[in-house]
Amino acid sequence: MDATLEQILNEYEQRAAEESRLRETLSPREFSDRIDEFLICVGPETGRMMHLLVCGLKAQTIVELGVSYGYSTLWLADAARSTGGKVHSLELSQQKVDYARSQLQRAGLDSFVEFHVGSALDTLPQLPGPFDFVLVDLWKDLYSPCFELLYPKLSKGALVAADNMLSPSTAVRYAQAYQRRVRAKGDMDSVLLPIGSGVELSRKL
């Protein structure tokens, strides 16, 4: 990882820390009203883990469900640069995509990412696959329906990493429903990793 990318990731992490302190001063209603203002990212431990996994897989088609402001996109794009792959990033907000694209350009990684703006439920059926690595980190009630759409497109040995399995508390019921859905598949091996906000890491057998 080059110095420019490290600097950009550090900027994201500083912003996330500052906004975390700000969120503590807000009521749940205030936070809900302002949620799109905040950088809610997977964090450095999860980012590094994904980077290692994508590089180890030599993944060619990488899918990111939920860009937010592009923190995880940078980790995945840098891994794609190493593998010669491509990241397909799905995001509902054009504003967030524009911000993420500007940071990728700063890092010299924009050519490794293709953004798809709109609902993941609409976009996933249009992506041909096969998918080698998938990050699931969008609205939590979409985890299970999105998994059903991406599951038939997973390559043999593909990995799916779903964030926010342990926190926040508001996501727990959706996280548990997702875990049950994945683990019910006879050809998926899955484990909960206590990294960051909790990651369910699943492999297509």
Q: Hey, what domains does the chain have and what are their CATH numbers?
A: 42-204 (3.40.50.150)
Q: From residue 152, give the alpha-carbon distance in Å to each of 11, 125, 129, 200.
A: 37, 10, 9, 18
Token look-up 């994904």 returns: 50
Length of the chain: 205
What pLDDT was estimated at residue 157? 98
Residues 96, 119 contacting (CB under 8 angstroms)? no
pTM for the structure as a whole: 0.94
Three-class secondary structure of residue 188 per DSSP: strand
Residues 6+ apart with CB under 8 A from 16: 39, 40, 41, 43, 71
Give 172: exposed, middle or buried? Use CB within 10 Å, 0-12, 13-18, 19+.
Answer: middle
pLDDT at 30: 82
Instruction: Please give the Cα distance from 201 to 191 (Å, whole number).
Output: 5
What pLDDT was estimated at residue 154? Answer: 98
DSSP 163: -
| Of 139, 165, 163, 136, residue with least CA distance to 42 | 163
**Token pair for 98:** 């524009």
C-alpha neighbours within 13 Å on the C-beta side of residue 122? 6
pLDDT of res. 36? 76
H or E segment at 107?
A: helix 94-107
- Per-residue pLDDT, 24: 81
Q: What are the pLDDT tens digits along the chain (205 aa)?
A: 899 999 999 999 998 888 888 878 888 888 777 877 778 789 999 999 999 999 999 999 999 999 989 999 999 999 999 999 999 999 999 999 999 999 999 999 999 999 999 999 999 999 999 999 999 999 999 999 999 999 999 999 999 999 999 998 889 999 999 999 999 999 999 999 999 999 999 999 9
Look at residue 28 in the predicted model and tell me its pLDDT: 80
pLDDT at 67: 94
Q: How far apart are CA 65 and CA 93, in angstroms?
A: 12
